[in-house]
Homo-oligomer: A and B are copies of this chain.
Amino acid sequence: MDEFQTLFEFIGKYIPRVDSYILNDLVSGDPEYVYQAATHLIRAGGKRFRPAVVLLTARMLGGGASESRALPLAAAVEVFHTFTLIHDDIMDEDETRRGVPTVHVKYGVPTAILAGDLLQSLSYKAILEAKRRGLRSPRIVAALDALVEAAIKVSRGQGYDMRFEKELVSYHDYLEMIYLKTGALIEASAKLGAIAAYADREVVEQMGLYGRFVGVAFQIRDDILGVFGDPKVTGKPVYSDLRRGKKTILLLYALDHTSGDERRLLERIASGESVKEEDLEKAASIIRESGALAYAQELAESYVKSALDILDQLEAEDLVEDEDALRALRELALFTVRREK
């Protein structure tokens, strides 16, 4: 993976600081069982994609000092993300994630609800903690604004996602839903990094767009891996998205480009009807042959292209203070659509 070397070196160097802050300072207290449940998925691993966006953006626009102010903001988005994973797993009745039992399976539903609620509160606390690291009040307010806006969008996105299990939707609805559910928090991550670097409002908005495009690409790739990914690599159950009739861009495209028995099978899956394991396998190959896989991958790459354009523009405007961080943010955008997990 030489093409992602700068990114992975950065993650190897800085993400342990974020993890240490989260596990030792932020998400630590009594009663212990609630905090254990809250840190369960964080301890199980994860890509730390969102905190990397925060720190890299801060470093790119403002150098090392910005990155230090950005540390609690990086923790905030990872903790917020973990909250949504815990609650989504309850709502979706998923039993494994990151190769371990989900929080409600291990600790029970009441504790999992509570652990998620606590993590949401702690994500705002983390932002307030940035004050101690020298981030001034108007920027703290801007950072909270960015996270709260994302939080509302994430809830709305999950609301659409649950409703879409019961009805057919357009490509537009799908893209709007994944922007809300996944793009909005990565958008906020990039904004938070820019806010920590005391970037101008327009630059904060530009980086927000970078995050938004990367986030949408990320989710399209996630939907591809949800059908074609190797469960041993992804840590998620095989065909889980198909099994619950999730209206991904893959299924929507394949429905539009098949007919006869093939289309009927996809319609049964899309209606949420429970089908046999071998039919799920058959559906996956119909989706591939319909051209949906290639279409979705190209769509994801077009979003990445737009994200890269924004970085080019910031570079052309001479706003980049750290070339390595710029390179890593480029790699991160590309990694989004090349990853296998």
Contact = CB atoms under 8 A, between A and B. Distances in A.
A120 interface: yes
B91 A113 contact: yes
A145 interface: yes
Q: Summarize A's interface: helix, strand, loop or mixed.
A: helix
Contacts of A90: 109-110, 113
A191 interface: no
A69 B213 CA distance: 37
A161 B256 CA distance: 53
A42 interface: no
A114 B144 contact: no
Interface residues of A, number: 42
Contacts of A171: none
A126 to B, nearest CB: 10
Which of A31, A83, A111 counts the most B-chain CB atoms under 10 A from its CB?
A31
Interface string A135-169: 00110110011001101100110111011000000
Contact of A114 (B110, B124, B158): B158
B122 A152 contact: yes
A322 interface: no
A78 to B, nearest CB: 17
A333 interface: no
Interface of A: 29-31, 33-34, 83, 87, 90-92, 109-111, 113-114, 116-118, 120-122, 124-125, 128, 131, 137-138, 140-141, 144-145, 148-149, 151-152, 155-156, 158-160, 162-163
